[in-house]
């Protein structure tokens, strides 16, 4: 058996797997950018440690460091502990942040691995498929789904008023209502269709599971576009999120289902595995 390398240089091409690697890295880097202050002069030691630590976790995934997914969790715990040592957190805060960030990073490090065999994740095909479908639908839900539905139905959204320093409910314009309504429709169709076509194999003509995942990615992008229009603010961070989170929503399902007969080959492989096991 060939020994796994300690790390692997990422390929530099436009294959789906390569795009997935960089989308994953970009999504993790986007989280690091959350903590970057507007003025570099305001950057303190605790924040610098956190940003560098998150970027390091991203680099482990990009270079596919051996056991890099599992090493993500102790790295998160160490970052939380560093804030305790530096006086930014107490123990209760560190525990909460460790749990929250661990859940968030589970999506970021395992969704790509579920869609592409190159990541080397050893899970039975049927289990891998269902984890992929459920985690994709959950990520879309956490990102924007219920929010899009709520705003589309109410026709209002909260906007921060710098004069009163409070959130105020503002009625959407016609264009804003169209954008958020499309996002809500794509979320419902994408989440339900992904599970039905990919999980239960229900035929929907030419529509495939990866098309449903694409609708989730487009809906996510539309929701972020809505907030840019609504708040009249263009952000590099938001543009990065549209690309990277959109990639996480679409590319894993594309990698798993894109070849004709992919699911059937997975079922055959699993059946062969069961047959071999029963013969022992």
- Chain center to CA of 54: 15
Q: Strand, helix or coil at 170?
A: strand
Cβ atoms 169, 156 nearer than 8 A: yes
User: Which residues, 6 or more positions from 69, have their beta carbon under 8 angstroms from its beta carbon?
Assistant: 61, 109, 110, 113
Nearest C-alpha neighbor of 125 from the set 249, 261, 263, 254: 263
Low-confidence ranges of the chain (pLDDT < 50): 1-2, 260-269, 271-280
Q: Which residues of 94-103 are buried (b: 16+ CB within 10 A; e: fewer)?
A: beebbeebee
pTM metric for this prediction: 0.87
Looking at residue 3, its pLDDT comes to 60
**β partners of residue 124:** none
Q: Does residue 108 sit in helix, strand or coil? A: helix
**pLDDT of res. 259:** 52
- In the prediction, which pLDDT does 40 show? 83
Cα–Cα distance measured from residue 53 to residue 74, given in angstroms and rounded to the nearest whole number:
11
| 36, 155, 250 from 260: Cα distances, Å | 44, 42, 17
| Alpha carbon of residue 100 to chain centroid | 14
């Amino acid at each position: 058996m060939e020994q796994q390398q300690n790390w692997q240089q990422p390929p530099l091409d436009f294959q789906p797997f390569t795009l997935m690697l960089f989308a994953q890295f970009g999504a993790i880097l986007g989280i690091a950018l959350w903590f970057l202050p507007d003025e570099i002069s305001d950057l303190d030691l605790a924040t610098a440690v956190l940003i560098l630590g998150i970027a390091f976790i991203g680099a482990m995934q990009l270079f596919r460091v051996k056991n890099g997914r599992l090493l993500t969790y102790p790295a998160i715990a160490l970052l939380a502990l560093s804030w305790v040592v530096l006086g930014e957190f107490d123990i209760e805060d560190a525990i909460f942040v460790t749990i929250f960030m661990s859940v968030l990073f589970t999506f970021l490090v395992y969704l790509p691995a579920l869609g592409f065999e190159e990541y080397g994740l050893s899970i039975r095909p049927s289990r891998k498929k269902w984890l992929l479908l459920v985690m994709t639908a959950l990520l879309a839900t956490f990102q924007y789904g219920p929010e899009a539905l709520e705003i589309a139905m109410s026709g209002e959204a909260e906007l921060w008023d710098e004069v009163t320093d409070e959130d105020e409910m503002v009625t959407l314009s016609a264009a804003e209502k169209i954008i958020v309504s499309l996002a809500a429709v794509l979320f419902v169709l994408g989440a339900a269709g992904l599970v039905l076509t990919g999980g239960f194999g229900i035929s929907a003509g030419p529509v495939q599971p990866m098309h449903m995942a694409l609708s989730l990615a487009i809906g996510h992008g539309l929701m972020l576009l809505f907030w840019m229009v609504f708040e009249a603010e263009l952000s590099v961070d938001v543009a990065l999120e549209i690309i990277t989170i959109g990639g996480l929503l679409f590319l894993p399902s594309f990698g798993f289902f894109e070849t004709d007969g992919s699911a059937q080959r997975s079922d055959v492989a699993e059946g062969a595995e069961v047959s071999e096991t029963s013969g022992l």
